[in-house]
Amino acid sequence: MTVISRPDETVVPMVSLRRSQRPVLVPDLPPTVDELLQRVARGDSPAFELLYDEIANSVFGVIRRVLHNPAQSEEVTQEVLIEVWRNATRFDPERGSATSWIHTMAHRRAIDRVRSAQASADRDQRVAMRDHVTPYDDVADQVETHLEHQQVRRCLDSLTELQRESVGLAYYGGHTYREVAELLDVPLGTVKTRLRDGLIRLRDCLGVTR
Amino acid sequence: MTDPEIHLLSGAYAADALPDDERGAFEEHLRDCPTCAHEVRELTETTSRLAIAVSQTAPARLRARVLREIEMVRQEPPTDLPRGLDDGLPAQPWYRQPTGMAASFLLVLSLALAGVAVAANRDADRAEQNAARIAAIATDPDRVTLGERVTTGGTASIVAADGEAIFRADGLTVLPEDRGYQLWVMNEDGARSVGVLGRGTSSHVEAFVTEVASGDRIGLTVEPSEGSESPTTDPVLQIAVSGA
C-alpha cells in the first residue's frame, strides 16, 4: 500500500521567473495574511516568519487583554502561534479571513484559560476583571500607531453605553453573557441582544463585509 | 435545540461569551441556518478588529522561541470529514464483512455524506470529492476490511485501500458532554490525531482517515471534548492495519 502524500507545492519557486519576466506595472505589494497562511499550509516556514510579524502583536494584545498576567499571556500566545502553524492546513478561506481565524483561536485559548482558572477556584483574576468595565483604559505599552485602534475606538463610541459595556465585558473581559448580565444587573435577554446589536453596529461602522 | 430565539446568540457566540454547552448547541444550529452562519462570519470579522485594536508589542524572545518550535511540529493533514454523522444507517457487524456488502454500505454512506453536507449548505464541493474518495475505497478490489471490539463497549471497523480508510464504530458507550472519542493513527512516529468524533454523545461515529499505511494502528481514546494533542488515556480500541 502506498502512503498518500500531498504534492509538494513549495518547491515550485517564484524565483525561477527571471527578473525581466516580472510584470512591471504590478506594484510589489506585501503578501496579505490570507496569502501567507496559505503558503504556511504548504509547510513554507519563511512565510510563517512573515506571518508571525503580521499577527503576533494583535494575538499577544488580545490575549493579554483577557488574561492580564504577562507571563501567562506569553505562554498562551506561544501555544496559539504554534497552533496556527500546525492547523494552517485546515484553514478554509470560504469561512472567513485568515486574520479572523487566527484571532478567534487566540481569543478562545485565552477564554479557556480564564475558565479553567475559574474552575480551579483561582479568583484573583476574576476580581481584577471586575474593575474592567470600560473596554478602553490606559495600557502603557499598547501599540498606539494603529489607525485601526483609532477607528475602533471611534466606532465603539458610537454604541450605546449598555452595548459598549456588554461588548467590552464579554470580549475584553472574557466573561460569559450570563456573567455580563450579573455584572451589569440586567436581564439575560437584554445582554444577548445588546451583544448582537452592539456588534452589528460596530460591523457597520467599521465597514466589515464578508 | 428549538429555542426560537437561538439566533439572537450570534453576538455572544462571536464574542466567545457562550458557556460551553450553549456554544455546542449554537454550532449545531449554525449548520442548519445559513443566514446565521453568515452573520456569525461578519461578527467574527468584527471581533477580530477588536483584537487588532488592542495590539501590544509581543516580547522579542517569543519570536525566536516560536520559530524554533515550529521546526519540530508536524502540520496536520488537511482532512475535515465526518464528525460523527448520525444518519440512521443500519447497524453493521464488526467482523470482516463480505466484500460486496461492504461496497454497497459504503456507497450508501458516501451518498449520505454528500446529502448531509448539501443539507447543511456548506463545503458541498469538498463533500463531493470526499464522497468520490469514499466510493473509490469501497470499490477498490484491493481493499481490506478489519474489525475489532471496543473495550468499553461497541464495535469498530475500518475499510482501507490505497492509503485511505473509512472508520466506523457502533454501539459505543455514550460519554459525558465534556468527553469525546478521539481517533488516532499510530506508528513509530507517534500518534497523529484524526479528530474528535461526535462529541461523545453519540453511540455511532464515522470518519475518513488519510495517510494510513500498512503497519499503522488505528486507535481510539477517550479525551476531553475539545481533543488532546496526544492520547492521554489508554486506547479503548486498536486496529492494526495490514495488507492494504
User: For residue A179, what pLDDT is reported?
Assistant: 96
Average pLDDT over residues A68-97: 94
DSSP annotation of B78: S
Give the model's confidence band at B124: pLDDT under 50 very low, under 70 low, under 90 confident, else very high: low
Give me the residues of A, 138-197, that contact B with CB < 8 A.
139, 141-143, 146, 148-149, 152-153, 167, 170-172, 174-178, 180, 189, 191-197
DSSP annotation of B167: E
Would the pLDDT of A8 be above 60? no
Residues B242 and B147: their CA atoms lie apart, in Å, by 12
Provide the mean pLDDT of chain B: 76
Answer yes or no: do B52 and A177 touch at CB < 8 A: no
Average pLDDT over residues B72-82: 74
Look at B118 and B182; give whichever has higher pLDDT: B182
Look at B227 and B83; give whichever has higher pLDDT: B227
B68 and chain A in contact, CB less than 8 A: no
Would the pLDDT of A141 be above 90? no
Average pLDDT over residues B83-97: 32
Closest-CA residue to A181 (of A162, A204, A196): A162
Q: Do B157 and B165 touch, CB atoms closer than 8 A? A: no
Answer yes or no: do B56 and A192 touch at CB < 8 A: no
Would the pLDDT of B1 be above 50? no
Lowest mean pLDDT among A172-186, B55-69, B145-159: B145-159
Would the pLDDT of B40 be above 90? yes
Provide the mean pLDDT of chain A: 80
The residue behind cell 461492504 is B102
Would the pLDDT of A108 be above 90? yes
Average pLDDT over residues B3-15: 89
Give the model's confidence band at B169: pLDDT under 50 very low, under 70 low, under 90 confident, else very high: confident
Look at A66 and B193; give whichever has higher pLDDT: A66
What are the strands, taking DSSP E only, across chain B? Answer: 144-149, 155-161, 164-170, 179-187, 190-197, 205-209, 217-224, 237-240
| Closest chain A C-alpha to B90 CA, distance in angstroms | 30
User: For residue A168, what pLDDT is reported?
Assistant: 96
Lowest mean pLDDT among A31-40, A68-77, B160-169: B160-169
User: For residue B96, what pLDDT is reported?
Assistant: 29
Average pLDDT over residues B41-70: 95
| Closest chain B C-alpha to A26 CA, distance in angstroms | 28
Question: The complex's ipTM?
Answer: 0.79
**A90 CB-side CA count, 13 A:** 16
B8 and chain A in contact, CB less than 8 A: yes
Answer yes or no: do A56 and B62 touch at CB < 8 A: yes
Q: Do B201 and B177 touch, CB atoms closer than 8 A? A: yes
Answer yes or no: do A148 and B214 touch at CB < 8 A: no
Answer yes or no: do A139 and B52 touch at CB < 8 A: no
Would the pLDDT of B112 be above 60? no
B240 and chain A in contact, CB less than 8 A: no
B66 and chain A in contact, CB less than 8 A: yes
User: For residue B167, what pLDDT is reported?
Assistant: 82
Average pLDDT over residues B136-145: 73
Would the pLDDT of B241 be above 60? yes
Which residue of A57, A177, A196 is in closest CB contact with B57?
A57
Which residue of B19, B63, B161 is in closest CB contact with A52?
B63
Average pLDDT over residues B132-158: 76
Would the pLDDT of B146 be above 50? yes
Would the pLDDT of B164 be above 60? yes
Segment B183-234, tens digit of pLDDT: 888 888 888 888 888 655 567 777 778 888 888 888 988 888 888 888 888 8
Average pLDDT over residues A45-65: 96
Segment A162-204, tens digit of pLDDT: 999 999 999 999 999 999 999 999 999 999 999 999 999 999 9
Which of B10, B30, B49 to probe by mutation at the A interface, max A CB count within 10 Å?
B49
Would the pLDDT of B72 be above 80? yes
Look at A130 and A149; give whichever has higher pLDDT: A149
Q: Considering the entire predicted model, what is its pTM?
A: 0.57
Give me the residues of B, 188-217, that contact A with CB < 8 A.
210-214
**B61 CB-side CA count, 13 A:** 3
Q: Which residues of B18-32 are buried (b: 16+ CB within 10 A; e: fewer)?
A: beeebbbebeebbee
User: For residue B94, what pLDDT is reported?
Assistant: 28
B178 and chain A in contact, CB less than 8 A: no
